[in-house]
């Protein structure tokens, strides 16, 4: 069978069109991921690390925690009112950003780390859940949500730059629980959620010190080495989880369930934006006492003064 030149050219044209379309779809798929398909993240060559051995989050056996002692965290800039605070619907979560520098050090970290952003994870009204799970044998504790403070090493310009470096990232995780009272600081976020129904929407939020998002008791933390919980799942994260949660009201929690998964409502609501727990694979998890009581040094000083006075009185009496 003999093909004309025109036919051969048409076949070549269609071949190149199909090849280009396939490459375009592959490129598009690198940037598109969702929680519903998380079991297949590792099958994308760009996200192969999602199938590696030191992934996050994890189910933490509280009976297997190894005691550790770290120096207290030093929070630089966290107690100042952050400037130009914005809240963004990223398509996978909501994210708080600010122009102010927030730096952490101490706490067993290898240097100083700069805050990039804060984001949130939640489940549904019927099944509220964060990412990490605590268990103590017969008791499994799933929290109502989870807040992540994502930091990169101060030597690097961004999370992307630091993500491929050993211990390049430090994430502080805060568990979210519910009680009857509204959280005043979370109210500043909650009041803006109605303006963030769709992906890529951004609003300004009232300024407040980021330290107010943490629990008041920051003495005890869980520490382990893990990964980002979203693609590309780089295993370069030093995780710190505060054992004491923060509390918001049920109404505030349920407002998180009102945003849509995408730029319109065709994909339904943005729910269950958490990754399933990953195998521990022999990693060690630590329970550290940071001895953060700000009055402990002062109390010790007073105790020494009282002892000295008592000793002096004893000498005078004798």
168-177: burial string, b at 16+ Cβ within 10 Å, e else: bbbbbbbbbb
Catalytic residue of the set 92, 117, 119, 255: 92
* Cβ count within 10 A of residue 102: 22
Phi, psi of 144 (to 5 degrees): -75, -20
111 φψ region: left (φ > 0), alpha (ψ -120 to 50), beta (else) = left
**Tokens standing for 113?**
């780390």
Do the beta carbons of residue 290 and residue 221 sit within 8 Å? yes
**Tokens standing for 49?**
């690390």
Would residue 234 show up in a list of annotated catalytic residues for this protein? Answer: no
First to last CA, the chain: 124
Question: Vertex 205, ends 203 and 208: CA angle to 5°?
Answer: 155
34 φψ region: left (φ > 0), alpha (ψ -120 to 50), beta (else) = beta
Residue with tokens 């004798």: 318
The whole-angstrom separation of Cα 35 and Cα 270 is 10
Helices and strands, counts by H and E, the chain: 5, 15
Residue with tokens 């959280």: 183
Question: Vertex 243, ends 218 and 95: CA angle to 5°?
Answer: 80
Q: What are the catalytic residues?
A: 92
């Amino acid at each position: 069978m003999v093909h004309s030149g025109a036919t051969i050219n048409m076949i070549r044209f269609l071949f190149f069109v199909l090849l280009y379309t396939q490459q375009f779809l592959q490129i598009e798929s690198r940037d598109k991921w969702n929680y519903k398909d998380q079991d297949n993240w590792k099958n994308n060559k760009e996200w192969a690390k999602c199938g590696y051995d030191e992934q996050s989050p994890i189910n933490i056996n509280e009976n297997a925690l190894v005691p550790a002692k770290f120096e207290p965290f030093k929070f630089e800039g966290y107690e100042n009112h952050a400037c130009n605070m914005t809240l963004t619907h990223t398509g996978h979560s909501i994210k708080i950003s600010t122009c102010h520098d927030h730096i952490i050090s101490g706490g067993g970290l290898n240097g100083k780390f700069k805050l990039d952003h804060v984001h949130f994870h939640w489940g549904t009204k019927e099944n509220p859940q964060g990412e990490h799970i605590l268990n103590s044998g017969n008791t499994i504790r799933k929290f109502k949500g989870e807040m992540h403070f994502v930091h990169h090493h101060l030597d690097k310009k961004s999370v992307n730059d630091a993500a491929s470096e050993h211990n390049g990232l430090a994430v502080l995780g805060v568990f979210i629980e519910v009680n009857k009272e509204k959280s005043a600081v979370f109210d500043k976020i909650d009041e803006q959620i109605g303006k963030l129904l769709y992906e890529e929407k951004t609003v300004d939020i009232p300024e407040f010190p980021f330290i107010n998002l943490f629990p008041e008791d920051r003495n005890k933390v869980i520490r382990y080495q893990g990964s980002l919980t979203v693609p590309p799942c780089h295993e370069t994260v030093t995780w710190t989880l505060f054992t004491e949660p923060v509390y918001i009201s049920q109404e505030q929690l349920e407002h998180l369930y009102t945003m849509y998964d995408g730029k319109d409502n065709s994909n339904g609501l943005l729910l269950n934006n958490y990754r399933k727990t990953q195998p521990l694979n022999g990693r060690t998890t630590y329970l550290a006492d940071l001895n953060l009581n700000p009055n402990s040094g002062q109390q010790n000083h007073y105790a020494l003064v009282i002892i000295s006075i008592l000793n002096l009185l004893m000498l005078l009496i004798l």
